Chains A and B, each alone.
Chain A
Amino acid sequence: MSKPSDLVQGTLDMLLLKILALEPMNGFAVSQRLKQVSGDVLQMSDGSLYPALHKLEQEGWITAEWKTSVNGRRAKYYSLTRLGRRHLEKETDNWGRLSSAISRVVKLKEA
C-alpha cells in the first residue's frame, strides 16, 4: 500500500467533487469509493476527509441532506450543486492542462 501522495488541496477538492458528481453519498462512502477507484493509490485519511467536505459545503459547491438509509440508519448525504458542477469542470480543465504539461516534460529524452 503506497502512502498517499501529496496532493494540492485544490486537486483533492476536485477529486471529492468528481466522486460526488457520480451520485450523492455520505462521507464514509466517498472515502471508500476514492480508495476503490484509484486502486488503493489514493487514500484520504479519515481525519482530513470531513473538514474538507465541510469546507466544500461552506463554499457552496456541495450541499448536504440527512437521509435515512435502507437499514434505518440516519446519515448525511452530500450532493453536487450546479455551482459545484461548474467549478468541477473548470478544475478538471486546469488539471488536464497541468498533467499534460508535466507529461511532456517528463517524457523528454535524456541526452
Chain B
Amino acid sequence: MRPEHWLYTIPLRLRSLFRRRQADQELDDELRDHVERKTEEYLSKGMAAQEARRQALLEIGGVEKRKEECRDTRRVNWIQDLLQDLRYGLRMLRKSPGFTAVAVLSLGLGIGATIAIFSVMYALALRPLPVQRADQLVELVRGDGGNLHSYGEWKIFRDRQDIFSSVLAYNYFDTNFSVTAAKQQREVSGLYVSGDYFQTLGIPSVIGRAIEPSDDQPGAPPVCVIGYGLWRLFGQSRDVLGQTILVDGNEFRIVGVAPRSFFGVVIGEMSEIFMPLEAERTYRDYPLLYGKQTPPLNDSATLLAFVGRLKPGESLSQANAGLQVLAPEIHRDLSPRSDDTSGRAVARASPMARSIRSETLAELWNETSVVLLLMTMAAVALIIACANLGNLLLARATKRQSEIATRLALGATRWRLVRQLLTESVGLSLIGAATGLLIERWGSQALLWALSWPDEKISLDLSWDTRLVFFVVGITLLCALLFGLAPAIRATRVSIYSAMNNGVTVGRRRDRFSNSLVVVLQVALSMALLVSAGLLARTLHALLAVDPGYDPKGVLVAHATWNGAAENPQRAAFIGEQLLTQFRSVPGVISASWSRVASQMYLAQLTVRKPGSAERHLGSYNIYVSSDFFRTRRTPVLAGRDFNDGDTDTSLPVAIVSKTLAEMLSPGLNPVGLRFRESDSKTKGQDYAVEVIGVTADMQYRRPDLGPLPILYRPVSQCASCLGMGDYEVRVAGAFPGMTKRLQSAASTVDSYVALKCDPLSNAFNNVLHRNRAMELIAMAFGLFVSLLAMIGVYGVTSYATAERTREIGIRIALGAQRGDVLRMLVGEMMRVVSIGIAFGVAAGLAAARMIGGMIWGIKPTDPLSFGFAICLLLLIAGIAAFLPARRAMHVDPIVALRYE
C-alpha cells in the first residue's frame, strides 16, 4: 500500500468508524437525492407523479438493501459489526437470565477445570526452567547411576574441569530450615549452593547481589540469598539487605533476593533461601561423627548434585568424552588406594533439561493413569458442556426464526447472520472463560493438594506466561466454535415463507435425530465418568479394608525435639530414655515404645548363608525399636519371641523379621535361629553374628496395593547410632487432646526445653491413602457435575420436543387418549434414547476402566456394583429430567393446543 493511498483512505476509514451516524445520514441523502432526480426525469418524460416515483424506486431496487451494500464496501465494517454483534448478544443474554446462568456456569466449570488441569500439567512437564538457556545445562551422574557426589569430588572437579563453561553444585536433599527474622519464625525449604550457582544459571538478583565464589570459601562470613516469597513476607523493602537472620539457630546476613520466577532447578520444590556450601559444611548436624569440627574434605557423604553448562557449540558426547578422561584423575586424587573400587568418580553427563526429582513428582509422573484420568475428565466435562450449550442454542435459534427471516428479507447476507450468531457464541464463551478463570485459581490449588502427600507438598510455579494465555484463548474460541457453529448454520437455513408465517413447525426428523444423538453422547460420557468414580471409590474401600498388621486406633505418635541435641549428645540420650520411662508412668497410658527408622531411603543389605550353599544378599528396611514396640502396636508375634530387657548391647545381637522378610530369608521354613550378617554396621567383619529370634506379621508402611515391605527390627539397645530422641508410640486409654497434654507435661518434667508434637497414628495410616482419596473425590465431583449437565440436556431436549408437539398432543387428548398414556409415551421416548446412551455408556465405562487400570485394586474392572450405581443414578435423574417438562405439557387444554400457532 503506497503512502498516498493511505492519505486518502485513512480519513475515510476513521470517519466510517467514528462518525458513523453522519456517514449513514449522508448515504441516505445521496440515495434519496438520486431517487428524486430520477423521478424528475420521468416526470419530464410525461409520466404521472406517482408512477414516476414508483418507477424510480423500482430501479434502485430497494433503498435499504442498497444502503447496506454501500455500507458493506466500508473496510472497517468488521470492527463495527463485531461491536454491534457483541452488544446485541449481551442484550439477548440479559433477556434470558436462566439460560445465561446455566450456560455460564457449565462453561465456567468446564473451562475452569480444563485450564486448572492444563496449568498444573504444563508446570510439571512443559514449562521451561527459570534459568538462562536451560538446554545447555546437564546433570552429572556417576558410573553406577547415582547422581550424588561428595564435597571432596566437588573441590577437585571444580578446580580441574575444563569441559564445561561453568559448573555448580547444590545440596540435593532439600531441607527445611527454621528461619527467624524480626521475631517471626518460619519453616522454609532451602538449599546450600556453590559459589557460582547463580552465575552458572544466569539468574540476576532482584535487589542486592547473588552468592559469589568469594562467599563459598572456608572462613567467609556467612551470607544468604532469600527467595521472592520470603522477601514479601519480610516486608518487601530494600532494608532487608544487610539484615542478619537466624537459620536453624545460625546467623546469616542477607545479601540479595532471588527473582520471583526462580525456585531452584528442581521442579516440584520451591527453595526460599540459598546459602553457600561452605556454610553447610560448617553447620552440618552430625554431632556423633564430627562433633563441632568441620568435616574433613574427603568425608564420603554424598550430598551434592552437580550441574554443568555446556560451552557454546559443545555437544553432549564431547562433554562425555572429556569426562571419561577427567573421571579417573579425580578418582585417583580422592582415594590413592587402588583397591577402592567403588565407582564413585564422575563418569557421565546426562541432560538435565527436566530435573523432575522430588519423589512425589517422579512417582506421580510414572502413574500415567492419574494424569490420563485428569485430562480425560477435563476434556469430557468440556465436551459435555459444549454439547449442552449447542443444544440449548439450537432450541433458542428456532424461536428466533422470525427475526432471522426478517433480517434476511431486509437484505442481510446469510454469512453476515452466521457471523452474528457466532459472535454471540464467542461472547458467551468469553464470559464463561472469565468465570472459569475464577474457578481455575481455586481448582489448581485443589489439584496440587490432591496430588501431593500431606507432609510433602508439591510446589509448582503456576504463574501465567504467554503459552498459558494462548491456551486459554484457544480453548475459549474452540468452545465457541464447538457449540456455536452448528446452531448458527442451522438457524440461518430458513425459508422465509414458513418463518414469516410463524407456521406450524413440524419437528424435522433430522433435528430430532441430532438432538437424540447429543443426548446419547452426553449420557454415555457421564456414565464413563460415574463408572470411574465408582471404581475408585470401591478401590479405596478395598484398600482401607486391608489389615495393616497393627491396631492404629488409640495410639499417639509423639515426636520429641530438644534444641541442645547437637551440642550435648549424652544429655540427649539421657533425655530420650527418661522420656520413655515418664510416658510409661502417665495415667491412662497402656504402653509406650520408641522407634527409629534407620534406612528410609535405601535398602540395607544383609547377607545370609545356608550351610552348604553360597552367600545370599538380601535387602531389607531396618527399624530400631525399644521393647514393647510390638505390644504397643498390637502386632502379633507369629513365631519366636519379642525383644526383652535381656537384649542389651553386650548380649547376643538379635533381630526380629517381618513375615515377608522371613519368606525371603528361608522360604517355607521357620527362620528363628537363623544367623546373618549386616553389611554396613559396626558388626561388619564378624561372621553372621545376628540371630533371628522372632517373626511378626507384616505391617503396612505404604499403600496396601504395593505390597508389604521386608522389614528388619533390631533392638534399640543394640544400635550404636540410635541415641537421642525420636518417635514415641503411646497407646492411651483416654481422649487424645487430654492425653496429649499429659504427655507434654510429663516431657517437661524431664527437661523444660523438650518440645513434643503428638499425632494420632491413624493419621499416618490415612495419609498413605491420601491420593486415592483425593482422586476419588475429584472423580466423583466430575462425575456428578457431568451427569447434572447431561440432565439439563435431557430436560432441554424433552421440553423442546414437547413444545413442538403441542398440537399433536392436543389432538391425541381430544381424540380420547388419557393424559397418563400421553405422558408415558413422551417420557418413554426419551427414556429409550437415554437407554441407548446407557448401553453405549457401558462400553465407555469399560474403556475408562481399562484406562485407569493402574489405579484400580482389589476389585475387577467390570465391578458390577460400580456399573450398577452409575446406571441407576443416570436412569433416576434422566427419568426426573424427562418427566418434569412432559408433565407440564399434560396440563395444556386441548382446545388451546389445537389453536396454537
Q: Do A and B bind each other?
A: yes
Task: Spell out A's residues near B (CB within 8 Å).
Answer: 26-28, 45-47, 50-51, 54-55, 57-60, 63, 66, 73-76, 81-83
Q: How many residues of B contact A (CB 8 A)?
A: 28
Quick check: B38 and A54 within 8 Å, CB to CB? Answer: no
Which chain A residues lie closer than 8 Å to B61 at the CB level?
45-47
Min CB gap B591→A, angstroms: 94
Alpha-carbon distance A66/B25, docked complex (angstroms): 12
B285 to chain A, nearest CB (A): 79
Decide: B72 and A51 in contact? CB cutoff 8 A: yes
**16 additional contacts, CB 8 Å, given A50-B69, A58-B12, A66-B26?**
A28-B37, A46-B59, A46-B61, A50-B34, A51-B72, A51-B73, A54-B74, A58-B73, A58-B74, A58-B75, A60-B5, A60-B9, A74-B29, A76-B33, A83-B4, A83-B8
Name the distance in Å between A29's Cβ and chain B's nearest Cβ.
8
Residues in A neighbouring B13, C-beta threshold 8 A:
58
Cβ contact within 8 Å between A59 and B30: no
Contact check, A76 vs B38: say whether CB atoms are below 8 A apart. no
Cβ-defined contact, A45 with B59, below 8 A: yes
In the complex, which residues of chain B have a beta carbon less than 8 angstroms from the beta carbon of A59? 9
Q: How far is the CB of A86 from chain B (nearest CB, A)?
A: 10
CB <8 Å contact, B26 and A76: yes
Q: How far is the CA of A81 from the CA of B7 in the complex (A)?
A: 11
The answer to whether B4 touches A50, judged by C-beta atoms less than 8 angstroms apart, is: no
How far, in Å, is A66 (CB) from chain B's closest CB? 7
**Is there an interface contact between B62 and A74, defined as CB atoms closer than 8 Å?**
no
Contact flags (1/0) for B31-67 with A, using CB distance below 8 Å? 1011001100000000000000000000111100110
Interface string of B58-95 (1 = CB under 8 A from A): 01111001100110111100000000000000000000
List 16 A–B pairs whose Cβ atoms lie within 8 Å, in order of A's numbering.
A26-B30, A27-B34, A28-B38, A46-B60, A47-B60, A47-B61, A47-B62, A51-B69, A54-B73, A58-B74, A60-B7, A60-B8, A60-B12, A75-B33, A76-B30, A76-B33
Tell me, rounded to whole Å, the shortest Cβ–Cβ distance linking B547 to chain A.
Answer: 83
Q: Which of A54, A63, A73 contacts B70 (CB 8 A)?
A: A54
What CA separation (Å) do A83 and B26 show in the bound complex? Answer: 24
Q: Which residue of A lies closest to B61 (CB)?
A: A47
For chain B residues 836-895, which have a beta carbon within 8 Å of chain A?
A: none
Alpha-carbon distance A27/B27, docked complex (angstroms): 12
B53 to nearest A CB, angstroms? 14
Q: Which of B33, B34, B70, B73 touches A46 (beta carbons < 8 Å)?
A: B34
Count A-B pairs with CB separation below 8 Å.
68
Closest to B10 in A: A60
CA–CA, A63 to B11, complex, Å?
11
- In the bound complex, do residue B30 and residue A50 qualify as a contact, i.e. CB atoms below 8 Å apart? yes
Q: Given that A66-B26, A76-B26, A83-B8 are contacting pairs, would A28 and B60 also be in contact in the complex, using a CB cutoff of 8 Å? A: no
User: Given the complex, which residues of B lie within 8 Å of A76, measured CB to CB?
Assistant: 26, 29-30, 33
Q: Which residue of B lies closest to A57 (CB)?
A: B12
Q: Which residues of B contact A66 (CB under 8 A)?
A: 26
Q: Which residues does chain B contribute within 8 Å of A83, judged by CB atoms?
A: 2, 4-5, 8
The reply to whether A50 and B8 contact each other, CB–CB distance below 8 Å, is no
Instruction: Tell me the minimal C-beta distance from B60 to chain A in angstroms.
Output: 4
Residues of A within 8 Å of B38, CB to CB, are: 28, 46
CA of A78 to CA of B135, assembled, Å: 63
Nearest neighbor of B2 in chain A, beta-carbon distance: A83
> Chain A's nearest CB lies how many Å from the CB of B668?
95
Inter-chain CA distance A76–B2, complex, in Å, is 27
CB-defined interface of B328-339 with A at 8 Å, one 1/0 digit per residue?
000000000000
Contacts of A26 in B (CB 8 A): 30, 33
* Residues of B with C-beta under 8 A to A60: 4-5, 7-9, 12
Indicate if the CB atoms of B70 and A50 lie closer than 8 Å: yes
Are A55 and B73 interface neighbours, CB within 8 A? yes
| Contact (Cβ within 8 A) A28 B69 | no
CB distance from B50 to the nearest CB of A (A): 19
Taking CB atoms, residues of chain A closer than 8 Å to B66 are 47, 50-51
Given that A47-B60, A47-B62, A82-B4 are contacting pairs, would A27 and B70 also be in contact in the complex, using a CB cutoff of 8 Å?
no
Most chain A Cβ neighbours within 10 Å, of B8, B31, B59, B62 = B8
Q: Which residues of B contact A82 (CB under 8 A)?
A: 4
Determine the residue in chain A with the shortest Cβ distance to B72.
Answer: A51
Alpha-carbon distance between A28 and B8 when the two chains are bound, in angstroms: 24
Are the C-beta atoms of A50 and B31 separated by less than 8 Å?
yes
Interchain CA distance A63-B12 in the complex, whole Å = 10
Query: Please, how many angstroms separate the alpha-carbon atoms of A63 and B61 in the complex?
Result: 25
Flag B1-27 by CB within 8 Å of A: 1 or 0 each: 010110111001100000000000010
- With A45-B61, A47-B60, A63-B8 as given contacts, are A74 and B33 in contact (CB-CB < 8 Å)? yes
Q: Tell me how far the C-beta of B515 lies from the nearest C-beta in chain A, rounded to whole angstroms.
A: 41
- Asked if A27 contacts B73 (CB within 8 A), the reply is no
CB-CB under 8 A from B72, the residues of chain A are 51
- B129-183: which residues lie under 8 A (CB-CB) from chain A? none
In whole angstroms, what is the CA distance A5 to B74 when docked? 27
**Chain B proximity of A104: nearest CB distance (Å):** 35
Which of chain A's residues has its CB closest to B29's CB? A74
- Does B59 lie within 8 Å of A81, measured CB to CB? no
Residue of B nearest to A27 (CB): B34
Chain A residues with CB below 8 A from B73, complex form: 51, 54-55, 58
B residues near A45, Cβ cutoff 8 Å: 59, 61
C-alpha spacing A75/B40, complex, angstroms: 15
Quick one: closest A residue to B68, CB to CB? A51
Complex CA distance for A51 and B74, rounded to whole angstroms: 10
Residue among A46, A57, A74, A83 facing the most chain B CB atoms (10 A cut-off): A46
Q: CA–CA, A28 to B60, complex, Å? A: 11
Bound state CA distance, A45 and B59, in angstroms?
7
Report the minimal beta-carbon distance from B12 to chain A, rounded to whole angstroms: 7
A63→B2 CA distance, assembly (Å): 17
Pairs of residues from A and B, 4 with the lowest C-beta to C-beta distance, nearest first: A60-B8, A47-B61, A51-B69, A55-B73
- Which of B2, B30, B33, B66 has the largest count of A CB atoms less than 10 A from its CB? B30
Shortest A16–chain B CB gap in Å is 13
Complex interface: chain A residues within 8 A of B29 (CB): 74, 76
A51 with B4: in contact, given A27-B34, A74-B29 (CB under 8 Å)? no
Specify which chain B residues have a CB less than 8 angstroms from the CB of A47 in the assembled complex: 59-62, 65-66, 69
Residues of B within 8 A of A63 (CB): 8
| Distance from B330 Cβ to chain A, minimum over Cβ atoms (Å) | 75
Q: How far is the CB of A20 from chain B (nearest CB, A)?
A: 14
Shortest CB-to-CB span from B3 to chain A, Å, is 11
In angstroms, Cα B37 to Cα A75, docked, is 11
B60 neighbours in A (Cβ, 8 Å) = 46-47
Q: A28–B9 contact, CB under 8 A?
A: no
Chain B neighbourhood of A57, CB < 8 A: 12
Contacts of B26 in A (CB 8 A): 66, 76
Shortest CB distance B22–A (Å): 11
Q: Which residues in A have their C-beta under 8 angstroms from that of B34?
A: 27-28, 46, 50
Interchain CA distance A45-B12 in the complex, whole Å? 26
Once the chains bind, are A58 and B37 in contact (CB under 8 Å)? no
Q: Look across to chain A and name the residue whose beta carbon is closest to the beta carbon of B62.
A: A47
Closest chain A residue to B9, Cβ basis? A60
Bound state CA distance, A106 and B38, in angstroms? 39
> Distance in Å from the Cβ of B59 to the closest Cβ of chain A?
5
Which chain B residues lie closer than 8 Å to A75 at the CB level?
A: 30, 33
Alpha-carbon gap, A60 to B75, bound state (A): 12
Which B residues are in CB contact (< 8 Å) with A28?
33-34, 37-38
Q: Which residue of B lies closest to A31 (CB)?
A: B34
- In the assembled complex, the CB of A64 is this many whole angstroms from the nearest CB of chain B, namely 9
Cα(A73)–Cα(B7), bound, Å: 30
CB-defined contacts of A58 to chain B, threshold 8 Å: 9, 12-13, 73-75
